[in-house]
Amino acid sequence: MLIDTHAHLDDEKFKDDMGEVIKRAIGNGVSEIITVSSTPGSIQRTIEIVNTFESVYGGVGLHPHDAKYFNKQIEQDILDSITKERIVAIGEIGLDFHYNYSSRDDQGRALRRQIGIALDCSLPVIVHDREASDELIKILEEFGGKMTGVIHCFTGDSDMAKKYLDLGFYISFSGIVTFPKAEKIRNAAKIVPQDKILIETDAPYLAPVPMRGKRNEPGFVRFTCEALAKVLNMDFEALSGITAENARNLFHLK
């Protein structure tokens, strides 16, 4: 049993064969996929996908890249979306200071408001962090540890993992953990408690070894789990079961 806790099935790269992609994932032992919105247009598309495929759940939110577009209409779209049974999180939200496609002020405003929505609706958050950890932690601390959620596609070191764990967050590892130069991330994985660890693909991005250079798919989460099991000196089946149980607990999957 595997659960891919973060994919972008709304991406154009899946528009021609999404059904086949999901079938392949199920064939590789993936029981559920969480598809996560990021742009204004992908919120409605996420709803359509989860209503079409029984094994897919959804997260709705606005990525920090598009934070400048956050307004009352986007807020209402999110609020309308979370009334749907299979929407299980607010995300992908967070901060990205690498590209700064939206200003830092806009990113902070959108993040705080979406966290507020998550708290009001008792939903976990799916958090993006790129080169913004210090500011992100400050914002998360403003909410006094009231929220639950996951730091998706974790790329920090052990010290950063501990800071997020101290705030009560789960840590999710993507195909990056299979990359040869990702020793820092593999070391961080070793300090994450078993009840706080998740796996994901971030498909169609970041395909793991041995699929580097190909379009990533939810079925490839198996390679991430296999690599992570070796890092943690665990049996693959044991880790897949643990990460699946953690996903069920965090996102209240049926």
Q: Is the pLDDT of residue 207 over 90?
A: yes
- What percentage of the chain reaches a pLDDT higher than 70? 100
**DSSP-derived 3-state class of residue 98:** coil
How many Cα atoms within 13 Å fall on the side-chain side of residue 58?
27
Confidence (pLDDT) at 81:
95
| 118-143 average pLDDT score | 97
Query: 2-251, what's its fold?
Result: TIM Barrel (3.20.20)
* Strand (E) or helix (H) holding 91: strand 87-96
**Spatial separation of the C-alpha atoms in residues 33 and 16, rounded to whole Å:** 18
Q: Is the pLDDT of residue 145 over 90?
A: no
What is the per-residue pLDDT across 84-120, written as a single tens digit (0 to 9) for each? 889 999 999 999 999 999 999 999 999 999 999 999 9
Q: How far is CA 199 from CA 16, 150, 177, in A?
A: 26, 11, 10
Place of tokens 């993936």: 30
What is the per-residue pLDDT across 151-203, written as a single tens digit (0 to 9) for each? 999 999 999 999 999 999 999 999 999 999 999 999 999 999 999 999 999 99
Task: Check residue 3 and give left, alpha or beta (phi > 0: left; psi -120 to 50: alpha).
Answer: beta
Q: Is the pLDDT of residue 144 over 90?
A: no
Confidence (pLDDT) at 112:
98
Q: What is the mean pLDDT of the chain?
A: 97
| H helix runs in the chain, sequence order | 18-27, 40-52, 72-81, 104-120, 133-142, 158-166, 183-189, 221-231, 236-251
Nearest of 63, 27, 26 to residue 46 by alpha carbon: 63
What is the per-residue pLDDT across 20-65, written as a single tens digit (0 to 9) for each? 999 999 999 999 999 999 999 999 999 999 999 999 999 999 999 9
Banded pLDDT at 143 (limits 50, 70, 90): very high
Place of tokens 């200003």: 103
Confidence (pLDDT) at 172:
98
Domain ranges, ordered by start, for the chain: 2-251
Confidence (pLDDT) at 124:
98
| 129-138 average pLDDT score | 97
Q: Is the pLDDT of residue 71 over 90?
A: yes
Q: Interior CA angle at 36 toward 57 and 30, to 5°?
A: 50
Q: Is the pLDDT of residue 254 over 90?
A: no
Q: How far is CA 48 from CA 53, 57, 58, 168, in A?
A: 9, 11, 10, 31
